Chain A
Amino acid sequence: MAEPVLQLSNLVKTFGALKATDDVSLDLRQGEIHALIGPNGAGKSTLIHQIAGSLRPDTGTIRFLGRDVGALGVPERARMGLGRTFQISSLTPEFSALRNVMLAVQARQGSSFRFFRPVMRDRSLTEPAMAMLERVGLADRAAIPAAELSHGERRQLEIAIALALGSKAFLLDEPMAGMDPEGSKTLTGFLDRLRAEAPILLVEHDMDAVFALADRISVLVYGRVIATGTVAEIRADADVRRAYLGEEA
């Protein structure tokens, strides 16, 4: 089998006495959605930070596209094609939706040291950015500053940015959080199609979405992966039911 796109091996991260990540190994394969679930405080965010590069694990390795990325920072990993969205939307609030995506297009073209040509008249930036907004259904909101977009629209915008980076893998941290049911449904359909483009590591609390989308699920409790398997296997797993889904589930 081909090497996984993203492979975590024996990651450990402690904060004082707290083991936030406790010997975590998991991988993300081409074409799949791998959901990461777990109760609050299980260490999902800490794990995401380590994958993205904003936290260094104490021990263990992270391989992305066959390369050990442990020594690389956030910008380098992003340039390799790690597209991330945040649990709480993180955008440039004064810039319009379009300019937020243009920043990603610009970064992908690797040309931020250009000092004179106005970006708004640069079609090599505006056109791809507009295309991404169309894909996530935000085209008619292109001129609105990110700060004035609705919560759901900001989430969509983050995905448009990750798309514009030409990501080789997506790291989506609770993309459904705070969305209305209609929005979640639309996004579920969208992510379903997105996996063909690049695999998705999906951290999500919305169990309907997770069960509808995931090819595999890993369950994180107290920093440890207590189970990895298909939707059916996870549903049947006794430990998982006790730890997370609730006894009666």
Chain B
Amino acid sequence: MSRETLVSLVIVLALLAIPLWATAAGETFYITLATRMAILALAAVGLNIALGLGGLVSFGHAAFFGIGGYAAGILASHAFNMEPLPFGLPGTNAMPVIWAVAIMASGIVALAIGAISLRTAGVYFIMITLAFAQMIFYFAISWPAYGGEDGLSIFVRNRFPGLNTLNGLTFFFISFGLLLAGLALFAALRDSRFGAALQAARQNERRLATVGIAPYRIRLAAFVVSAMVTGVAGALFADLNRFVSPSMLSWHMSGELIVLIILGGVGRLAGPVAGAMLYVAFEYFLGGITERWQFFLGLVLLAVVLFARGGVVGLLAGKARHG
């Protein structure tokens, strides 16, 4: 087992340990906290495909997170009110269906956004992805049908066949399971031919073109897959909070996902998990002490960028090796 595999395993097991300990100690609030960590980690695993493997600094991934959230909210509200959707389709409160819709919707939107944005690079790419996400954000605010600015409540958490999702621990395990699936997807992509081309596009675009692989299509596919994973995390996030609002689509959210990855380790398998655990812990513990907790988060981020470029995973496992 390589050192990185070991570090990844320890990080993931540490996340798993939180709700188990919380259950034993009767501190059920920490189960919610751990679930929040797992879901944000999943969203960041998605972004890590584009950002970490492909070097695509998307500052608009909140769009996909929010689209996933609204997929859950809208489908659930139609099911709750027994109103059919357009084309006479029924709403649903079944998580697997909601996830599939969240994945499809964020994938389709990512295809459109990516097809245009990926014609640019560098700072222009950052700005254009931000612009697209802001468009969707303002659309959500101004669209009254699903709560507009006030957001949309999910009155009863959506269901998963055979499980009681109202139980916090069960919902944690559902989220954790999807996180593991996301991590498995990330690892498989990273080691595959597609991942080789994607990482080559990040390291040296000219080299990739010179061996005969056009970087654009590779990046577009990565952007779409990345958005799909972040989208499904959005659906879970809506179910965790039983609420979805335009704030899930805001640029703060996009920034938060990037911060998670930088904290944990860009392009590293368990980077987003470590980053999400740290971030949520800061948010909760520092946030309990001072309202200005983000100032201290800023200091930590500064320290990571200056002294520990590889984030938590880089610190524990050393530089990434590509075989």
Contact = CB atoms under 8 A, between A and B. Distances in A.
Interface of A: 52, 54, 73-76, 78-79, 84, 86, 90-96, 99, 102-104, 106-108, 111-120, 122, 125, 143, 145, 161, 165
A90 B204 contact: yes
Contacts of A90: 204, 206-207, 210
Contact of A99 (B196, B204, B320): B196
A120 B187 CA distance: 13
Interface residues of B, number: 27
A99 B210 contact: no
B49 to A, nearest CB: 11
Contacts of A91: 204, 207
Nearest to A105: B211
Contacts of B323: 96, 99, 120, 143
Given A112-B197, A112-B218, A118-B192, 15 more contacts: A74-B206, A74-B210, A78-B209, A91-B207, A94-B199, A103-B196, A103-B200, A106-B196, A107-B212, A107-B213, A113-B194, A113-B221, A120-B191, A165-B211, A165-B212
A96 B323 CA distance: 6
Contacts of B214: 73, 75
B77 to A, nearest CB: 35
9 contacts: A54-B206, A92-B208, A103-B197, A103-B208, A103-B213, A106-B197, A113-B194, A119-B191, A143-B323
Nearest to B184: A116
A106 B210 contact: no
Contacts of B211: 78, 103-104, 107-108, 161, 165
A8 to B, nearest CB: 19
B164 to A, nearest CB: 34
Contacts of B213: 75, 103, 106-107, 112
B209 A114 contact: no
Contact of A115 (B188, B203, B208, B212): B188
A112 B209 contact: no
A161 B323 CA distance: 17
B3 interface: no
A78 B212 contact: yes
A120 B195 CA distance: 12
Q: Choose among A84, A92, A104, A112 the residue with the greatest number of B CB atoms under 10 Å from its CB.
A: A112
B192 A117 contact: yes
B210 A52 contact: yes
Contacts of A96: 322-323
B196 A102 contact: yes
Nearest to A75: B214
B79 interface: no
A191 to B, nearest CB: 19
B12 interface: no
Nearest to B197: A112
Contacts of A76: 212
